[in-house]
């Protein structure tokens, strides 16, 4: 079984990490659109156009399914992708909402959704979480966290001042949706900012859970071949993959 994983850049490797841990696939074809990263601050129409171009790339491989690890793409381009793909296409937002549902929180729980501007403005997480019966939902686009991760800053005074900038006025949430593929890399800093530490929902683990519900079965005894492509500088992306995935 061969899966395609698409992201605007390196962030989607956090989803690949979960897929590798669960060993669903014999092969993963990863494509990062590094020449046009980031997608998060861009227009829905631009994001959809870029996603459809990436789809053409994936049609060159005999993949069984495509996972758009990018939340911004999942928020805006899924209908267009599904209408044009000869294979199933999964996003990360529906899995994230389902993962929250599976955590049996009280309906009074305070849910904090974090994502890019494109993701938050789509309102897709908010609507899905509201439909689960939650009433205290806060949604934020802490845009600086993405370049912080890209600068290799995972904690320390700069991270703390940025977290305080965005979260300083918030009541501590009970659960946080890490609705951008960069955020799992700073899960400790985000979770540790609040007291008590909230439950964190990570797209990678959410997708793994979701795929199991969809009937995909882990094959624990095999290894997964990972092939990495990028629209510029694939070597830099491969180096990041080595670092993040320890392989």
Residues known to be catalytic: 70, 180
Contact in structure between 18 and 3 (CB atoms under 8 Å): no
75: left (phi over 0), alpha (psi -120 to 50) or beta: alpha
Cα-based angle 64, 65, 68 (whole degrees, multiple of 5): 155
Closest distance to a copy of itself from the beta carbon of 179 (Å): 18
Of 66-74, 152-160, 200-208, 214-222, the window that binds a copy of itself (rule: CB under 8 A) is 152-160
Verify binding: residue 41, a copy of itself, rule CB under 8 A: yes
Verify binding: residue 148, a copy of itself, rule CB under 8 A: yes
Verify binding: residue 127, a copy of itself, rule CB under 8 A: no
- Which H or E run contains 122? helix 117-122
Of 11-19, 41-49, 105-113, 193-201, the window that binds a copy of itself (rule: CB under 8 A) is 41-49
> Can you tell me which of 86, 107, 157, 196 binds a copy of itself, judged by CB under 8 A?
157
d(CA 194, CA 123): 24
Verify binding: residue 239, a copy of itself, rule CB under 8 A: no
d(CA 83, CA 101): 28
Closest distance to a copy of itself from the beta carbon of 155 (Å): 12
Q: Identify the sign of the CA torsion 231, 237, 241, 244.
A: negative
d(CA 12, CA 204): 9
> Can you tell me which of 83, 151, 221, 246 binds a copy of itself, judged by CB under 8 A?
151
> Can you tell me which of 2, 23, 36, 238 binds a copy of itself, judged by CB under 8 A?
36
Give 177's strand partners.
113, 201
Contact residues: a copy of itself, CB under 8 A: 34-36, 41-43, 45-46, 143-144, 146-148, 150-151, 153, 157-158, 160-162, 164-165, 232-233
């Amino acid at each position: 079984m061969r899966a395609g994983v698409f992201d605007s850049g390196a962030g989607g490797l956090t989803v690949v990490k979960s897929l590798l841990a669960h060993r669903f696939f014999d092969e993963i074809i990863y494509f990062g659109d590094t020449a046009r990263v980031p997608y998060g601050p861009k227009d829905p129409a631009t994001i959809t156009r870029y996603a459809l171009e990436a789809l053409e790339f994936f049609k060159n491989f005999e993949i069984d399914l495509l996972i758009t690890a990018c939340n911004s793409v999942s928020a805006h381009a899924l209908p267009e992708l599904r209408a044009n793909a000869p294979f199933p296409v999964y996003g990360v937002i529906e899995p994230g909402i389902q993962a929250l549902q599976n955590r049996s929180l009280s309906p009074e729980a305070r849910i904090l959704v974090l994502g890019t501007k494109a993701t938050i403005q789509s309102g897709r997480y908010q609507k899905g979480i509201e439909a689960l019966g939650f009433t205290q939902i806060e949604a934020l686009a802490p845009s600086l966290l993405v370049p912080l991760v890209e600068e290799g800053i995972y904690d320390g005074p700069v991270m703390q001042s940025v977290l305080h900038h965005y979260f300083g006025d918030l009541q501590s949430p009970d659960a946080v949706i890490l609705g951008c593929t960069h955020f799992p890399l700073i899960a400790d800093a985000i979770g540790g900012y609040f007291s008590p530490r909230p439950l964190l929902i990570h797209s990678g683990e959410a997708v793994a859970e979701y795929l199991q519900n969809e009937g995909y079965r882990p094959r624990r005894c095999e290894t997964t071949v990972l092939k990495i492509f990028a629209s510029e500088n694939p070597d830099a992306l491969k180096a990041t993959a080595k670092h993040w995935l320890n392989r």
